[in-house]
Amino acid sequence: MCGIIGAFMLKETESLLRPKVLEMAKRIRHRGPDWSGVFSSPRAFLAHERLSIIDPETGNQPLHSSDGTVTVVVNGEIYNYNELKNLTPDYEYQTASDSEVILALYLTYGISFIEKLNGIFSFALYDHTKDSFLIARDHVGIIPLYYGTDSIGQLFVASELKALEGFCTQIEQFPPGHYLDSTVGVRPICWYHRPWQEHPVCTTAVADIQRALEAAVNRQLMSDVPFGVLLSGGLDSSVIASIAKKMLEQRDQISYNRSKTVLHSFAVGLKGSPDLQAARKAAEFIGTYHHEVHFTVQEGLDALRDVIYHLETYDVTTVRASTPMYLLARAIKSRGIKMVLSGEGADELFGGYLYFHKAPNAQAFHEETVRKLSKLYQYDCLRANKALCAWGVEGRVPFLDKEFMDVAMGLDPEEKLIKDGRIEKWVLRQAFESYLPHSILWRQKEQFSDGVGYSWIDTLKEVAEREVSDVNFSHAAITFPIQTPKTKEEYYYRSIFESYYPSSEAALTVPSVKSVACSTPEALAWDASFQDQNDPSGRAVANVHQQSY
């Protein structure tokens, strides 16, 4: 993973602007500790902080087209870049970097090329000939991107909020699945359109799920550096790990690799936590080289301020879950691993959260999965990316592969509905019944912040209750008139957030909505018991979670 900065619509001189751009880039250097690069001109600035995964030797950025007319900085990976290179036979490639295909496609197809990309990405491109720029973000916002303007109207784009805070008077998250083409305006335009976003399409057979996910994992195993998998012992991460292991074994057979490729797996939790025990069993069955990272509640509390700084959020469920992942990322990096596969996205695609048990019908179920996918960039994608990138580790999410999403969302929602004794994500479990033992395959959903140990969440609530007085909380609307905290825990996180990001613009980049077990506000209507709750823990779903409140 990398970090990018772009500056356009310039009104200041290069000499005045350069120190600002360099300071912005420095603030996100943790994302790309391997190399820094800057392009500057009187019309545009582009800066790049690189984490080298593909082509470590020649893939430094900014990248310039072979004819010198276009420059780009890219954060992410283009998984189908080898196929896309076949569409640009006349372009003279100068590196083996997957990112260079963006230059070739732009010169060949114009902005229509974005739909051809299958990957995780954000990029900023400057066309010297047209004196124009193009900014784009991947289909669901797996890679973070923010943009804003300063007091004199200069436009900036950055991988993280911290790069823009203090420089820009207006800041927003750049919307997923959108691009900004300066030749037609300065507002993002949606490029990602799918029929299933509007209504169920019912084009997929259950049997297609296994094949499509295997293909997605295989695509995302491209790497020139050591990699691993995150393994909680739950269904999603275990499926990804088992497929990855199978794919690596097949590659070893094809290449006659006698030493065998080692797949490292990583789990984190309090001692005795549900995830650690389950992950140990899964790793033993799958055959990974397994690493356990134990943390204490106090170590989690000590890291809380750093977590909120790096995650750039005060959302309760994100902070709860990100702290263990942040601690895990440091351990992963210390073992020389630069990239990991993770299981984010399955719960949104297949209705895995426990509140989906309350869905009244297939149509409501489908509409909620669409809503959840559209908001992923504010929650799980943000956590998976920023918690890992804080230590220079890249996270990849095969369930959110663009092609696999079309297959998963093409299922008849009746197949996903939790009914007739079915457990959540029944379709996914059935598809991989030959991959995993029953104890793993049919383990009940645990949200990450629950699975690392229930005492973690319980202690966070106790700390917030102690740190936020009743008097302070009663004045919450005065202290925080924008996005007023609804609980003491949210108030506590918001106070830390504001110490780093004091602007109202920064506060508005964070979602603040009522939720039960990670539901959207719309799904609260599914059950009368949801109306008086506001708790993202899966244990909040009474009579569903085995350890419900």
Residues 6 or more apart in contact with residue 269 via CB below 8 angstroms: 275, 276, 292, 293, 294, 295, 324, 451, 452, 453
Look at the alpha carbons of 399, 405, 411, 414 in this order and tell me if their dihedral is positive or negative.
Answer: positive
Q: Which tokens hold the place of 269?
A: 């939790």
| Other Cβ atoms within 10 Å of 367 Cβ, number | 19
Q: Please tell me the number of Cα atoms within 13 Å of 541 on its side-chain side.
A: 28
| Residue written as token pair 């039960």 | 516
**Calpha distance 149→416 (Å, rounded):** 44
Backbone angles phi, psi at 200, to 5 degrees: -60, 140
Q: Which residue among the candidates 2, 168, 381, 389 is catalytic per the annotation?
A: 2
**Calpha distance 193→196 (Å, rounded):** 9
SS3 call for 237: helix
Q: Which tokens hold the place of 320?
A: 């709860």
Active-site residue, 381 included: no
**Calpha distance 512→313 (Å, rounded):** 10
SS3 call for 251: helix
CB 542 within 8 A of CB 531: no
| Beta strand 119-127 pairing with 170-173 | unpaired
> Counting beta carbons within 10 angstroms of the beta carbon of residue 160, is it exposed (0 to 12), middle (13 to 18) or buried (19 or more)?
buried
Give the residue ranges of the annotated binding site for ATP.
230, 268, 342-343
User: Per-residue DSSP letters for 265-314?
Assistant: EEEEESTT-HHHHHHHHHHHHHT-EEEEEE--HHHHHHHHHHHHHHHT--
Q: Position 208: which residue type?
A: D
User: Per-residue DSSP letters for 164-205?
Assistant: TTTT-SEEEEPPTTEEEETTT-SS-EE----GGGTS----B-
CB 105 within 8 A of CB 84: yes
**Calpha distance 449→159 (Å, rounded):** 25
Give the residue ranges of the annotated binding site.
98, 230, 268, 342-343
CB 279 within 8 A of CB 265: yes
CB 106 within 8 A of CB 113: yes
Give the residue ranges of the annotated binding site for L-glutamine.
98
Chain centroid offset of residue 457 CA:
22
Backbone angles phi, psi at 543, to 5 degrees: 65, 15
Q: Which residues carry out catalysis?
A: 2
